[in-house]
Amino acid sequence: MAVLKAMRPHSWPSPPEDGGDEDDDVQPGDDDEVFVTDSSVLVTVTEGSADPERERAMMGMHCEWSGVTCGKDNKVVKLELNVKDIEGTIPRDIASLRELERLYLFANQLTGTIPPELGLLTKLTHMSLGDNKLEGTLPPELSGMRSLEFLYIFSNKVSGTVPPEFGSLPNLKHLGLWSNELTGTIPPELGSIATLEYLWLNTNRLSGTIPPSITNLAKVKYMYVSGNQALTGPLPLGIEKLQRLEGLYLQFTDVTGSIPCEVAAIPTMKKLEAHNSTIEGCTDLKCLRQQCGLEPAGIEPAPPKGAAPQGG
């Protein structure tokens, strides 16, 4: 059984003070140092594991390890350790893998908190920490992952608020935070993520209203806020501006008012779920379309041409 251990505190890199490239002053032999560092990180990550492949990393052969993908100069660019029954905490020194683009630790037995040092992984595009036993809060420092496109921290025990700093992630497409213990309000700053396509905030303890800034998410396709029983107030005005919206999930909330006909008229709309809420009127898409005259209600289809008349 693999166990993630905490690593030496000095081994994760600090960002350059001048904001420049960390490799600007690379000297002969620096590539060897990075090679050793990546190997050392992986060795320590799996300390306690009986996996024979661990010995390869100890010998500097980490690029041959299952779940590890290397790029130029043997630098780790992908670490995929999903469903490995890994226990322990996430080592903050994973941030030493400076070229890392994808980090998958889905469906393990990870505990403890999410290290804020992960925000130093400026080339990371995918991170999945879902389906573990992580606690603590969401570090605002994760907003330092400027290349991040997919962030999944679902099905954990993470508490506290959604950091407003997440609104500054310029490339984020998927934000998956469902099934945690998040509290507070939905930060208006999330409306600044122009690239966002999927927003999962469902099954938490969020309160307050859905902020009007959410209507700025021009590319959003699916929005899940269901299962937040303290979420109140009406839908924000201008919700119909989300012209790429395909699914809106409001069930098991205290959202009030009615759903405007303009939502039913969104051409891409496929799914509307608002049952078990305080929404007035229609709580599904078919009903709303019929109510708004966008879909015929209770009309028998005409018989095919040439069909024999029915009855006497």
The one-digit pLDDT tens for each residue of the chain (312 residues) are 444 543 332 232 333 333 334 343 333 334 444 444 687 777 666 664 556 565 655 555 778 888 899 999 889 999 999 998 988 999 998 999 999 999 999 999 999 999 999 999 999 999 999 999 999 999 999 999 999 999 999 999 999 999 999 999 999 999 999 999 999 999 999 999 999 999 999 999 999 999 999 999 999 999 999 999 999 999 999 999 999 999 999 999 999 999 999 999 999 999 999 999 999 999 999 999 999 999 876 544 444 554 443 443
Inside any domain, residue 139:
yes
Residue 142, amino acid = L
Confidence at residue 156, expressed as pLDDT on a 0 to 100 scale: 99
User: By residue range, what is the domain housing residue 243?
Assistant: 67-292
Q: How many domains does the chain have?
A: 1
Q: Please report the pLDDT score of residue 277 as a whole number.
A: 96
Residue 5 is predicted with a pLDDT of 45
Q: Is residue 34, in this structure, part of any structural domain at all?
A: no
Query: Which among 204, 220, 271, 260 has a CA at the least distance from the CA of 237?
Result: 260
In a domain, 107, yes or no: yes
Q: Would you state the pLDDT for residue 29?
A: 35
| E strand or H helix that includes residue 271 | strand 271-273
CA dihedral 223, 224, 228, 233 (to 10 degrees): 30
pTM exceeding 0.85? no
> How far, rounded to the nearest angstrom, does the alpha carbon of residue 90 sit from its chain's CA centroid?
18
99: domain CATH number? 3.80.10.10
What pLDDT, on the 0 to 100 scale, is given for residue 61?
A: 72
Q: What is the pLDDT of residue 51?
A: 60
Q: Say if 98 falls within a structural domain.
A: yes
CB 131 within 8 A of CB 155: yes
For 65, 112, 227, 240, the CA distances from 80, given in Å and listed in that order, are: 10, 20, 31, 39
Strands (E), 14-105: 68-70, 76-80, 87-88, 102-104
Contact criterion met (CB below 8 Å) for 189 and 228: no
258 bridge partner residues: 280
- Residue among 62, 60, 92 nearest 77 (CA): 62
